[in-house]
């Protein structure tokens, strides 16, 4: 379960990046929503404890229970559809002791663990039709349950992470190029059909967000949050207006964005910390992602490499989607900014992921 590790192999630099970023997040959450800052501090402290404990548990031991982990992920997603709490037309949460628990956030990490095991087990057959099809079937089950919540943004992030894992597991680059050649025109056709409202599984509110992104002047009621976010980021200029400012025209003081401590926390960062503060956040997230990749290169086996790449991909893709939404590059969708946005389940899940990466780093391959 645990081993004697060498302290020199503990990646303190990764921990430092995470702690600096999370501390910035606590201050931003406190400025955007003072009532949630205490919970975020509790989440940070408990997350650090979880990270340290997991960093000392052999990930190979955890992977022995991979199928149980997969069934747990599917079970949680199924249970939330039956007994979860509904809010704003979505059923994604459990209420536990006054804390909202969102299973889909934890499922991101659970699926990384499972597919790290699965792709290592079938590494020699990764390019066979049987393994590729079976892996997509195993992915489709939790994706369908997430779709039923509905939670399209989480589906997209999980799919992207899965593709990254499949590629890093050794999928033939010719297959990757072939898929990209097919996906690009299919994506364009799909977007055209979405705009024409001819895809039945796209919900009305999702269609509205896409249309508001493409034509904000024609859908002002749906586009106002994203447009206000763009203006807030620009208004911060170089150094920002300062944390906890009392400017009545600011995003948080004027209530121009609903719940800015969550999906639009980057708008608060841009306005209050300016270009410099926003750049620091992006650089820290980039460094965390790169450090995960560096640790992956020295992993002792394929599973360890895939765990690191999976966690790095998760942080990278979520960062891109969140900032893309806040800056108007992507349609409005609900994805948290890693270690910055308010949300205990998301925070704990990310700390679990970092703990696993740290354990991989403690067991480097011997040259």
- Res 173 pLDDT > 70: yes
Q: Flag whether 14 is in a domain.
A: yes
Q: Flag whether 278 is in a domain.
A: yes
Asked if 311 and 354 touch (Cβ cutoff 8 Å), the reply is yes
Q: Is the peptide bond before 325 cis (omega within 30 degrees of 0)?
A: no
Please name the residues in contact with 185: beta carbons below 8 A apart, sequence gap of 6 or more: none
Q: Flag whether 366 is in a domain.
A: no
Domain of residue 146, residue span: 7-361
**Terminal alpha carbon distance of the chain:** 24
Look at 362 and 223; give whichever has higher pLDDT: 362
Q: Flag whether 1 is in a domain.
A: no
Q: Flag whether 367 is in a domain.
A: no
Residue 100: DSSP 8-state: E
CA 202, 204, 208 angle in degrees (round to 5)? 105
Asked if 112 and 179 touch (Cβ cutoff 8 Å), the reply is no
Q: Flag whether 80 is in a domain.
A: yes
| Other beta carbons within 10 Å of 275 | 15
| pLDDT score recorded for residue 198 | 67
CA dihedral 87, 88, 89, 93 (to 10 degrees): -30
The whole-angstrom separation of Cα 23 and Cα 296 is 26
Assign 3-state DSSP to the chain and report helix, strand, coil percentages, each to 5.
70, 5, 25
pTM reported for the whole predicted model: 0.92
Query: How many domains, in total, are found in the chain?
Result: 1
pLDDT digits (tens, 9 = 90+) for 246-267: 887 787 777 778 778 888 999 9
pLDDT digits (tens, 9 = 90+) for 210-236: 888 888 887 878 888 888 889 889 888
Q: Flag whether 221 is in a domain.
A: yes
Look at 241 and 14; give whichever has higher pLDDT: 14
pLDDT digits (tens, 9 = 90+) for 301-340: 999 999 999 999 999 999 999 999 999 888 888 789 999 9
| pLDDT score recorded for residue 62 | 95
| pLDDT score recorded for residue 196 | 66
pLDDT digits (tens, 9 = 90+) for 57-95: 999 999 999 999 999 999 999 998 887 777 666 677 777
| pLDDT score recorded for residue 61 | 94
Which of these, 281, 279, 316, 322, lies nearest to 296 by C-alpha position? 316
The whole-angstrom separation of Cα 317 and Cα 304 is 20
Asked if 103 and 76 touch (Cβ cutoff 8 Å), the reply is yes
Cα→Cα distances 296→156, 222, 289, Å: 23, 42, 11
The whole-angstrom separation of Cα 290 and Cα 151 is 28
Q: Flag whether 95 is in a domain.
A: yes
């Amino acid at each position: 379960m645990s081993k004697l590790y060498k302290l020199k192999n503990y990646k303190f630099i990764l921990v430092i990046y995470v702690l600096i970023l999370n501390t910035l997040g606590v201050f931003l959450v406190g400025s955007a929503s003072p009532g949630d800052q205490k919970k975020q501090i509790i989440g940070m402290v408990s997350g650090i404890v979880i990270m340290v404990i997991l960093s000392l548990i052999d990930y190979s031991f955890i992977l022995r229970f991979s199928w149980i982990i997969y069934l747990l992920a599917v079970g949680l997603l199924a249970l939330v559809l039956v007994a979860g709490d509904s809010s704003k037309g979505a059923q994604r949460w459990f209420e536990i002791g006054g804390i909202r628990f969102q299973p889909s956030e934890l499922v991101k990490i659970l699926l990384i663990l499972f597919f790290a095991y699965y792709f290592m087990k079938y590494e020699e057959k990764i390019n066979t039709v049987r393994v590729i099809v079976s892996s997509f079937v195993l992915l489709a089950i939790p994706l369908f349950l997430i779709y039923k919540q509905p939670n399209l943004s989480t589906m997209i992030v999980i799919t992207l992470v899965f593709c990254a894992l499949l590629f890093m597991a050794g999928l033939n680059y010719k297959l990757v190029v072939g898929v990209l050649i097919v996906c690009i025109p299919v994506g364009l056709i799909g977007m055209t059909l979405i705009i024409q409202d001819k895809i039945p599984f796209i919900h009305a509110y999702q269609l509205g967000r896409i249309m508001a992104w493409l034509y904000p002047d024609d859908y002002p009621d749906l586009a106002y949050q994203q447009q206000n976010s763009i203006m807030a980021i620009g208004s911060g200029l170089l150094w920002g207006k300062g944390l906890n400012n009392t400017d009545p025209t600011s995003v948080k003081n004027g209530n121009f964005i609903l719940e800015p401590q969550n999906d639009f926390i980057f708008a608060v960062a841009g306005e209050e910390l300016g270009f410099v503060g926003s750049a620091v956040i992006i650089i820290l997230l980039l460094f965390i992602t790169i450090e995960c990749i560096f640790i992956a290169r020295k992993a002792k086996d394929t599973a360890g490499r895939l765990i690191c790449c999976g966690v790095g991909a998760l942080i990278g893709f979520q960062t891109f989607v969140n900032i893309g939404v806040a800056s108007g590059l992507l349609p409005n969708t609900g994805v948290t900014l890693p270690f910055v946005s308010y949300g205990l389940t998301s925070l704990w899940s990310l700390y679990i992921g970092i703990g696993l990466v740290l354990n991989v780093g403690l067991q480097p391959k011997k040259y």
